[in-house]
Amino acid sequence: MPAPSGHLRRRAPDRQLRLDLGDPPRTARHRPAPPQPEADALYRAVQALRAAGHRVYRSGALHRVDDRLLTTTDLIRLRRADPRCEQPEGER
């Protein structure tokens, strides 16, 4: 049933206070990625080992090479020690 004219009530104003959220949290996506000094050597090592017939995969923070788990340093050492991997003149 409609309210009689002249008796319309206005909505009461919100009595809630604004919630101060402060500054938005800083997350990792806003920070620049730290440089990885071994990134180029790692890429070259993976390419050379794959070309020499090794199976190289990423396994979390480690690398899986022919069913062995190696660190990044060990992977680069393996590439330098493997005679089947071709090495540029500057790396010998």
pLDDT in tens, 18-29: 666 777 666 666
Which pLDDT value is given to residue 50? 92
Residue 55 forms part of a structural domain = yes
| Residues of the domain holding 55 | 37-91
Domain assignment present for residue 7? The answer is no
Q: Could you report the per-residue pLDDT of 21-55, keeping only the tens digit for each?
A: 777 666 666 667 677 777 888 888 899 999 999 99
Per the structure, how many domains does the chain have?
Answer: 1
pTM, whole model, 2 decimals?
Answer: 0.53
Q: How many residues does the chain have?
A: 92
In which residue are the tokens 């480690």 written?
62
In a domain, 78, yes or no: yes
* CB-count exposure of residue 64 (10 Å: 0-12, 13-18, 19+): middle
Q: SS3 for 18?
A: coil
* Burial degree of 82 (CB within 10 A; 0-12, 13-18, 19+): middle
pLDDT in tens, 65-82: 998 999 988 988 999 888
